[in-house]
Amino acid sequence: MGVLLEVKGLQTQFFTQDGVVNAVNGISYVLNEKETLAIVGESGSGKSVSVLSVMRLIPSPPGKIVAGEVIFEGQDVLKLDDEAIRHIRGNHIAMIFQDPMTSLNPVLTIYQQIGEALQLHLGMDKAQARQRAAELLEMVGIPEAENRLDDYPHQFSGGMRQRVMIAIGLSCNPKLLIADEPTTALDVTIQAQIVELVKKLKNDIGMAVIWITHDLGVVAGIAERVIVMYAGGIVEQAEVHELYANPRHPYTLGLLKSIPRMDMKRSQRLEPIEGLPPDLINLPPGCPFAPRCKYRIDRCTQEKPPLKEISPGHEVACWVDVTEGIGS
Amino acid sequence: MTNTAQNDILLEVKNLKMHFPITKGIVIQRTVGAVKAVDGLNFFIRRGETLGLVGESGCGKSTTGRSILQLYKPTAGQVIFKGEELTKMKRGHLRAMRRQMQIIFQDPYASLNPRMTVGAIIGEPLEIHHLAAGKEKRERVQQLLRQVGLNPYFVNRYPHEFSGGQRQRIGVARALAVNPEFIVCDEPISALDVSIQAQIINLLEELQGEYSLTYLFIAHDLSVVRHISDRVAVMYLGKIVELANRDELYENPQHPYTQALLSAVPIPDPVVEERRQRIILQGDVPSPVNPPKGCNFVTRCPRAMDICHEKEPPFRDMGGDHYTACWLYE
Ligand SMILES: Nc1ncnc2c1ncn2[C@@H]1O[C@H](COP(=O)(O)OP(=O)(O)OP(=O)(O)O)[C@@H](O)[C@H]1O
Ligand SMILES: Nc1ncnc2c1ncn2[C@@H]1O[C@H](COP(=O)(O)OP(=O)(O)OP(=O)(O)O)[C@@H](O)[C@H]1O
Ligand SMILES: [Mg+2]
Ligand SMILES: [Mg+2]
């Protein structure tokens, strides 16, 4: 499988009144064609900013991509002019967001929102575009799609609006779908519908997917590979089975221990991760997780650990080997 | 039910209904319909236990909690707390009862008054109920802060100076201030980060052990509910469709909605996820203004029969403290 996207040393900052927010701090990863990659991490860890940077959608000011390369199909997206980047966004990379209500335009009908893209990017006439729009809505499971083309977003439920967003995203046969917490605002039964839908479409169309979430359950069901982010950096990255069977960063380990599992009888007590994530304006000098880490050694507070490969495809940024026990 | 068992019951809800009127007209308001947010609930909570209440957004969980506490005046039914009926109680008496029943809200950002110090927020219920003043109040507030794992020096700070998890601790301290017996926890962890949620769950569990608290724990996260509850009630469109002991409900769900709901919950284990068979429900939850005829779940039920379109199923005792409302078992 070929490489579709390569992100190298990407660094994005926000220049605010309170200081410089280090939102994304030099992350690197590779996404293969047709692969599903999940990015997990808690609120503020830089998940959205990292993919918005890839799409060149960072508001500037206050934001700025200060370093790095984003190689998509061989060209550096960060060096493209505005027209070329719009072409990529319209034809090759689609993005769906957490809140389907704010990303659909409330005063335009569903057809106006899908059809516009089809006419603009694929050069269809109106009749073709209407037919294709109805097909796309059928494909994402909207019943009687033809009759709903002239409805407005508020006439759809949250789950249906998210389906419409996916239909719009798919309208140009993208090679990459970036989904930023597409199910977080939805109920579990609707979430299950959307997850199944994306899995099916991915197989049918053969696109790659980057799925952002904070839900380790969703990750386990959808991802082939997983990136764990903390305080703007990647702390661990592995194939999905490897990550859950053999988590090696104390933060990943902590996350997995702090969540109850629905399929298990009650375990004794949850083990929370004590403390809070660091302030991104004043990051600690060493490892950003060190203040909360029970494996911490002196080196952790002085020197930031690089991401290094511990077995094929499994990378961890930690000075300590957690399999050897606490504080070794 | 025997007498001893009845003594064990702290709270009982009978045929509880909360319908919000929909009105039209500006000068002369006419009622043109009603949101049947809660539509005939029957359940009890034993002293010292945690009853989990789960269901999807809009099914009536918060309304249930608020109607129990008489923050809404229920449309019909009874709420019996320690043997006393609350829905028809006089104000003064109700206020005294309220001291024993508190609530922790979902949103730790919206639920604390931003212009009050933490000390004032936690001390307020002590004043309202004339429980402590002056130095005694200050000491009690500091003690409460310590109990919820916050530094007692924080009394003079304002809510915006705290993180989400810390604010939720402040909400817990405020609820505990008046030594309640019963607390409605309305999604107390939903707004918090995964790594912080476990901190609050553990705190609620510790406090329950220490003060023999009884909880109604409202949540949509079924994994958390399994962890914290003794018994679990599943709601759909204003009604309880199933209620059972925790492990019984999760291992032996009877109602098709419970089965679908449990099958939709993702499990953080890729090996398990690969093997799982999901029941994917079609469509969306109907509006509580126009619930379907017959069973409320009939429009999405994969096993609907003719009778389900005609008559509402009774809430039936399946034995072993397990109740469900479904025609499959009649
Ligand atoms: N426009 C902006 N101005 C200033 N800071 C910003 C801006 N956008 C994002 N940030 C900051 O960048 C950091 C990373 O934000 P990001 O939205 O990527 O987090 P996230 O991991 O997606 O979190 P969530 O799970 O809450 O969506 C945060 O500290 C955030 O406050
Ligand atoms: N004050 C009110 N006036 C009118 N309708 C209301 C009111 N409060 C709630 N409702 C409606 O009653 C129904 C139940 O709402 P409720 O807040 O109890 O649901 P919930 O189960 O707590 O949902 P969530 O999980 O989203 O918090 C919804 O349709 C809601 O819109
Ligand atoms: Mg985000
Ligand atoms: Mg609610």
The tokens describing A299, both together, are 């080196």
- B57 CA to middle of ligand 1, Å? 26
Render pLDDT for A151-172 as a digit per residue (tens, 0 to 9).
998 888 777 888 888 888 888 7
**A137 and A256 fall within a common domain:** no
CA distance B263 to chain A (A): 9
With contact defined as beta carbons under 8 Å apart, do A32 and A206 qualify?
no
Is A266 in contact with B194 (Cβ distance < 8 A)? no
> If you average pLDDT over residues B84-105, what whole number do you get?
92
Phi, psi of A69 (to 5 degrees): -135, 145
One domain for residues A166 and A71: no
Q: How far apart are the CA of B209 and the nearest CA of chain A, in angstroms?
A: 13
User: Which residue is closest in CA terms to ligand 1's atom 11?
Assistant: A23
Query: Quick one: A64 and A124 in the same domain?
Result: no
pLDDT band at residue B3 under the 50/70/90 scheme: very low
CB contact under 8 A, B195 and A42: yes
Taking CB atoms and an 8 Å limit, are B197 and A259 in contact across chains? Answer: yes
Residue A228 pLDDT > 80:
yes
In chain A, the DSSP E strands lie at 3-16, 19-32, 36-40, 63-72, 75-76, 93-96, 176-180, 208-213, 225-230, 233-239, 308-311, 314-316
**% of chain B exceeding 90 in pLDDT:** 71
Mutation test of ligand 1: which of A10, A14, A53 has the most ligand atoms closer than 8 Å to its C-beta? Answer: A14
Same structural domain, A83 and A208: yes
Number of domains in chain B: 1
CA-based nearest residue in chain B for residue A219: B268
For residue B89, pLDDT beyond 70: yes
State whether A115 and A228 are in the same domain.
Answer: no
Report the CATH number that the domain containing residue B160 is assigned in CATH.
Answer: 3.40.50.300
Task: Point out the ligand 2 atom lying closest to the alpha carbon of residue B66.
Answer: 18
pLDDT tens by residue, B170-194: 999 999 999 999 999 999 988 788 8
Using N-to-C axis directions, what is the helix angle for A158-170 and A110-122, rounded to 10°? 10
Q: What are the pLDDT digits (tens) for B218-260?
A: 998 999 999 999 999 999 999 999 999 999 999 999 999 999 9
CATH classification of the domain holding A68: 3.40.50.300
Partners of residue A184 in chain B, C-beta under 8 Å: none
The pLDDT of residue A99 is: 67
Whether A134 and A230 map to the same domain: the answer is: no
Write out chain B residues lying below 8 Å of A265, CB-based: 247
The number of distinct structural domains making up chain A is: 2
* pTM: predicted TM-score of the whole model, two decimal places: 0.90
Domain that holds residue A45: 3-92+173-274
Ligand 3 centroid to Cα of residue B187, in Å, is 21
AA letter at B236: Y
Domain containing residue B309:
3-329
Do B52 and B231 form a contact (C-beta atoms < 8 A)? yes
> What percent of chain A stands above pLDDT 90?
60
B236 token code pair: 């759909």
Q: State in Å: Cα A47 to ligand 3 middle.
A: 6
Our answer on whether the CB atom of B57 is closer than 6 Å to any ligand 2 atom is yes
Tell me the count of A-B CB pairs closer than 8 A: 130
Determine the residue among A101, A187, A228 to mutate to test chain B binding: the one whose Cβ has the most chain B Cβ atoms within 10 Å.
Answer: A187
Nearest CA in chain A to B163: A276
Check: CB of residue A41 under 8 Å from CB of residue A228.
yes
Candidate from B37-46, B71-80, B197-206 with smallest mean pLDDT:
B197-206
This complex has an ipTM of: 0.86
Closest CA to A270 of B84, B195, B114, B329: B195
CA of residue A98 to ligand 1 center, whole Å: 13
- Residues A258, B198: C-beta atoms closer than 8 Å: yes
A7 and A77 belong to one structural domain: yes
pLDDT value for B116: 93
Instruction: Residue B202: list chain A partners with CB under 8 A.
Output: 269-270, 272
Based on the domain organization, do A190 and A265 belong to the same domain? yes
- On whether both A78 and A149 belong to a single domain, the answer is no
Q: Are residues A27 and A150 in the same domain?
A: no
Share of chain A above pLDDT 70, in %: 97
